[in-house]
Amino acid sequence: MRLRHFVFMALAATFLTACQQEDVLNVSRIEGKASYRLSNDTLSRMAKLNMDQKSPILIRIFKEEGVMEIWKANTSNRYAMLKSYQICAWSGMLGPKKKEGDRQAPEGFYDITPSQMNPNSRYYLAFNVGFPNAYDRALGRTGNNLMVHGACSSSGCYSMTDAQVQEIFALAHDAFDGGQTAIQLQAFPFRMTAENMVKHKNNSNFDFWKMIKVGYDQFEISHRPPVVNICNHTYVFNQVAAPGANFSPSAQCPAMSTPPDMAQAYASFEAKYDQDYAAAEKKYAGYVWDEPTEAQRKAAVAKLKSKVSDIAFAPTGNGLQAGKMIKLEDLRTEEQKKVQAEADKALAEAAMKAAAKTDVADVPVPQANPASTTSSVATAYQDVPAGDDANKKPFWKFWGN
């Protein structure tokens, strides 16, 4: 039993650290896992949308909805959504990844090149999202091996089912074969509508989300990947630097301008957005979105998880399944309760540790019964008062029931 328990825990630990232990292997070795052939249904949809099989693709991720979209260029060089997949597992909460070990899946704009594709991943198939990018590095953010992969198990990655990631691999393979040098991946906390922005306006990441929303909006307007640059520790989108000037992640932004067509379209888009935002503020006055924890998201799909025996299959659900709108005053009350519960837990743990360190020397030394002509350790301990013995738990008992 002890050996079986050890094996199970070792396997569980492997999957918990999945995204931190990805191997860098020879990407030319396929070993039959990736056929790079698309289904007839996918090819049929390409034809209906006037897409060449080897035209470029773009990937969009929405954490809260638990969705990954594949967009593909058509013959007019505009992108349309080709496929949408439910993300099987992602870890952490809404918000960007900031440091190694925080279990956060990245948010922002990333480039995927052929060298980042790994058909020999221990998690079936995988590709590195490119974290940290120039923006992340400028802020001193740390982490490595942040992937999109199969196996449906995540510790900072976006994990799909094996069938899903195989099709995504095939789409990327065709795009690279057609000449695309880098696939843009856009990772968002949620669909950045006016209602969603109002729901999450009290989140500490709101300013970051407003910044990347500019890129989201410009893609919604043009259906073309925005040109992404970093300056002054900030994302900037579709900006043209003045002659002789350059973008540098940690330096002040150069003199720059938005192309006239985009500037006009974006102004119109923002005017409509401002109207929708004001309406949403009235609709949700006094309320805020109570974001579920990863544990709450997992609980929302507990029934699904119970139907599979593979411990690697660990769906986490999405935020819409477990989250809710809540009165702001009620949320503050809940947060105060959580703070108090954490404080109580810390005090209890400190008390348990102090009790566990009780010196054995503090226990009264049992004496031999003077009425007996012989003594033994067993006899001596029988002479300890029952009350003392009952109240002196061995230290390991404090960790039991």
Most confident of 89-93, 248-252, 338-342: 248-252
Does the pLDDT value for residue 379 go beyond 50? no
The residue from 149, 173, 200, 231 that is catalytic is: 149
Annotated active-site residue 19? The verdict is: no
Annotated active-site residue 157? The verdict is: yes
User: Based on C-alpha coordinates, what's the Rg of the chain?
Assistant: 28
The residue from 19, 88, 152, 157 that is catalytic is: 157
> Measured between alpha carbons, how far is 186 from 61 in angstroms, rounded to an integer?
6
Indicate the residue type of 234.
T
Mean confidence (pLDDT) of the chain: 82
> Measured between alpha carbons, how far is 340 from 347 in angstroms, rounded to an integer?
11
Non-local (6+) Cβ contacts of 332 within 8 A are none
Q: Give the ranges where 254-327 is alpha helix by DSSP (H).
A: 260-283, 294-300, 302-306, 319-322
pLDDT in tens, 278-321: 999 999 999 988 999 888 888 888 765 555 444 445 688 888 88
Residue that has been written with the tokens 């002054």 in this structure = 232
pLDDT in tens, 41-97: 999 999 999 999 999 999 999 999 999 999 999 999 999 999 999 999 898 999 999
The DSSP code sequence of 148-217 is: EESTT--SSSEE--HHHHHHHHHHHHHHHHTT---EEEEEESS---HHHHHHTTTSTTHHHHHHHHHHHH
- Of the candidate ranges 163-177, 334-348, 355-369, the one whose mean pLDDT is the lowest: 355-369
> Given pLDDT bands bounded at 50, 70 and 90, which one contains residue 35?
low
> In order of start, what are the domains of the chain with their CATH numbers?
1-191+294-320 (2.40.440.10), 340-399 (no CATH)
pLDDT of the residue at 60: 98
> Given pLDDT bands bounded at 50, 70 and 90, which one contains residue 118?
very high
> Measured between alpha carbons, how far is 121 from 18 in angstroms, rounded to an integer?
10
Record the pTM.
0.77
